[in-house]
Amino acid sequence: SRAIAYMGNNLSAHLTLKEVAKQVKTTPRQLHRVFIANTHDSPASYWQKLRLEHAKKLLANTRYYITNIAIECGFSDASHFSYWFKKEYGETPMSFRKRRYQVEKQV
C-alpha cells in the first residue's frame, strides 16, 4: 500500500521501479512479488493504470490540452499517451472527451 501511495503521488515523475522499491524499503523483485500476489498485476502495469485513470479524470473534468495531460500523467508525449489510452479504454483521448461533451450537452 505504501508503494501504491507513492506511485499515486508521483504520477508525472519518471522514476524507475527500483526507486519505488527503495522508497518503500524493499527490493524490486520483492515489490514485484507483492504486487502480483495482491493486485494480480505487475508494478509497472499498475502504475500505468493509475496514470491512465488520472488522465481520464482530467479529460473529463478539465479543458487542459491533451499534451499537457499526457505530461502531467507521466507520458513522454501526446502520441504515447494516446496509444496507451486507446489500448486501455478502446478510444482515443480526443474521442473520449468529445463523447463526454456530447453526453453533457444532452443532459
pLDDT in tens, 39-89: 999 999 999 999 999 999 999 999 999 999 999 999 999 999 999 999 999
Per-residue pLDDT band at 100 (split at 50, 70, 90): confident
All three cell numbers of 83: 496509444
Closest CA to 26 of 3, 44, 55: 3
- 3-class state of residue 1 by DSSP: coil
Distances (CA, A) of 40 to 29, 37, 55, 97, 98: 15, 6, 22, 30, 33
All three cell numbers of 24: 518503500
Q: What pTM, to 2 d.p., does this model score?
A: 0.87
Residue with cell 505530461: 71
